[in-house]
């Protein structure tokens, strides 16, 4: 890790456990050159905002060379920066400034697939006998010319695309322009591990691994079995997508992945204080897979599934059930929780569509997320309480939304530009006449400059609560124990090295009260929430929270 002598960072191998990671979607964070698209220099210029929040690290979504069919998640060159985002020198400057501010940098590695414009695929598709012929997943057609099996793409339709030069199908779990790499080939694994080393040598502090459970496929190409209608859910794909009709036993989640993840971890261990978080996309076995991938301290440091990114209403019982289910599935593992990211409807809208006091709702959810056992990912704009943008079809850029419009509007609504200055063009994101996605008018009053310094704002609650969290190690590293939920109030304790904290959340727009559990509880302050304590009970306002320490 290339940390300069004046950086406040130290090579702490355990830094990731309980870390707060701020996700940056680079196209939408800050445009520095007036072309309407965010870039690396823009990120560097705004790192002070991340530092003011108190985040421990940033995760930057892909910025590699790409034709941008899936906006960076289709990589054409893993070891260079797409010109729209800048240069390698710009990235080096970003790393240096982040480290100076005490912020670690994690980058998004997309290694289950590449762009069809990657030189590896260009060579692979040229014939059946070239040196990279087996670097992607190719298969012959059935005798009737149809695809090799029934596997489906998350982006709709078959997971197989015909190629006339090779007279074979290639596999694509996502867009047809995103062919799947064949990680059964050791040469492919070696090439991907070399890419990881390239970025580690440049000073990155870790990785977010995209679609980590999609790396391997069944060599026998067996059909996936059907799922009964009552077993289907829309956690991994929208409800209108037939992808949910299958149990994905053979196109992903394969046991061979465990050995590769050990190889990947071994590369990270060559460098000090590196960490990785894996995205596990599976609606049936998500937490079980997380348990497998984070076990034995020799694979992933942490993973996240989609339980808290799903549309299911967030009520006290569900929070407790998800956390308990994770502990049961991954007793040795470590979670990285998120309520929002670049792929899902922003949580203030997803769970709070009918909520009147959306700022109060956003504050309560911030306190809750930052109090759970695990590390945390915060998505840009979440700290402002941003809602999902309602875009017209003409404004869409996401191929997912374009495919399934209007029943599913895609992911552009959560990817609109960050709002920095309420009265500036495009909220201060760019000076261009047009930005790549429009800035919603309703977001402008929530801009950073309107909220900063306002003690009642969502932004200042995040800043205050993150500082409060850092003062109590139990939040980052402690165990968690839930009380039986009472009506709308969620109650649990966090315990670490002699400190026990009580956390109460009123997950309702109506006032509530709960009896104090037995013990000498001393209320904690300076966290941003208000409540009233009597001898035997705590009265919580709508969307309120209460925190106390067990004394003696």
Question: Are the CB atoms for 350 and 311 separated by under 8 Å?
Answer: yes
Which one of 12, 140, 256, 270 is the catalytic residue?
Answer: 270
Q: What is the pLDDT of residue 283?
A: 84
SS3 352: helix
Q: Is the peptide bond before 406 cis (omega within 30 degrees of 0)?
A: yes
Q: What is the pLDDT of residue 485?
A: 85
Q: What is the pLDDT of residue 157?
A: 94
The reply to whether 394 belongs to the active site is: no
Q: What is the pLDDT of residue 1?
A: 42
SS3 44: helix
Q: What is the pLDDT of residue 230?
A: 83
Per the DSSP assignment, residues forming a β-bridge with 304 are 279
Q: What is the pLDDT of residue 4?
A: 53
Angle in degrees, 0-180, between the axes of helices 458-470 and 358-369, rounded to the nearest 10: 20
List the chain domain ranges.
Answer: 20-112+186-217+252-468, 477-550
The reply to whether 210 belongs to the active site is: yes
Query: Which residue ranges in the chain fall short of pLDDT 50?
Result: 1-2, 5
Q: What is the pLDDT of residue 10?
A: 86
Question: Are the CB atoms for 510 and 503 separated by under 8 Å?
Answer: no
Which one of 90, 210, 307, 382 is the catalytic residue?
Answer: 210
Q: In the structure encoding, which two tokens stand for residue 452, read together?
A: 């900063």
CATH fold group of domain 20-112+186-217+252-468: TIM Barrel (3.20.20)
- CATH code of the domain made up of 477-550: 2.60.40.1180
**β 489-496/479-482 pair status:** antiparallel
């Amino acid at each position: 890790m290339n940390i300069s002598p004046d950086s406040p960072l130290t090579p702490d191998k355990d830094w990731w456990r309980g870390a707060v990671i701020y996700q940056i979607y680079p196209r939408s964070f800050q445009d520095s050159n007036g072309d309407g698209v965010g870039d690396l220099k823009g990120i560097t210029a705004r790192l002070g905002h991340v530092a003011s929040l108190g985040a421990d690290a940033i995760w930057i979504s892909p910025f590699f060379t790409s034709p941008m069919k899936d906006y960076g998640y289709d990589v054409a060159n893993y070891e260079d920066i797409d010109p729209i985002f800048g240069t390698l020198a710009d990235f080096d400057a970003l790393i240096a400034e982040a480290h100076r501010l005490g912020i670690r940098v994690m980058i998004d590695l997309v290694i289950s697939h590449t762009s069809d414009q990657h030189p590896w695929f260009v060579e692979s598709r040229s014939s059946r006998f070239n040196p990279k012929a087996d670097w992607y997943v190719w298969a012959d057609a059935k005798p009737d010319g149809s695809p090799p099996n029934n596997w489906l793409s998350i982006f709709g339709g078959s997971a197989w695309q015909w190629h006339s030069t090779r007279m074979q199908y290639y596999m694509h779990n996502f867009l047809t322009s995103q062919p799947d790499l064949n990680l059964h080939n050791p040469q492919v694994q070696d090439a991907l591990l070399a890419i990881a080393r390239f970025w580690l040598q440049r000073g990155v502090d870790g990785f977010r691994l995209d679609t980590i459970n999609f790396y391997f496929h069944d060599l026998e190409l067996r059909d996936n079995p059907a799922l009964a209608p009552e077993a289907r859910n829309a956690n991994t794909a929208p409800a209108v997508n037939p992808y949910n009709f299958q149990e994905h036993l053979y196109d992903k989640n394969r046991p061979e992945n465990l050995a590769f993840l050990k190889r990947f971890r071994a590369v990270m261990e060559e460098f000090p204080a590196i960490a990785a978080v894996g995205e596990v996309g599976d609606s049936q076995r998500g937490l079980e897979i997380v348990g497998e991938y984070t076990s034995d301290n020799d694979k992933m440091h942490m993973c996240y599934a989609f339980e808290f990114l799903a549309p299911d209403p967030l009520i006290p019982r569900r929070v407790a059930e998800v956390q308990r289910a994770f502990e049961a599935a991954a007793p040795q593992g470590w979670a990285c929780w998120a309520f929002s990211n670049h792929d899902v409807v922003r949580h203030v809208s997803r769970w709070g569509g009918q909520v009147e006091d959306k700022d109060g709702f956003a504050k309560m959810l911030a306190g809750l997320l930052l109090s759970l056992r695990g590390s945390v990912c915060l998505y840009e704009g979440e700290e402002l309480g941003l809602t999902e943008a309602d875009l017209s079809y003409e404004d869409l850029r996401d191929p997912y939304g374009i495919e399934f419009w209007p029943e599913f509007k895609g992911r552009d609504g959560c990817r609109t530009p960050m709002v920095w200055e309420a009265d500036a063009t495009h909220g201060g994101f760019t000076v261009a006449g047009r930005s790549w996605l429009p800035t919603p008018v309703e977001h402008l009053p929530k801009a950073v400059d309107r909220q900063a310094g306002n003690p009642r704002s969502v932004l200042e609650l995040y800043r205050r609560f993150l500082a409060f969290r850092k003062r109590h190690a139990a939040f980052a590293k402690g165990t968690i124990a839930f009380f039986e939920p009472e009506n709308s109030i969620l109650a649990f304790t966090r315990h670490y090295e002699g400190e026990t904290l009580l956390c109460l959340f009123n997950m309702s727009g109506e006032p509530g009260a709960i009896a104090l559990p037995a013990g000498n509880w001393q209320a904690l302050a300076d966290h941003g929430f208000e409540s009233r304590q009597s001898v035997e009970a705590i009265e919580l306002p709508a969307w309120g929270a209460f925190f106390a320490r067990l004394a003696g």
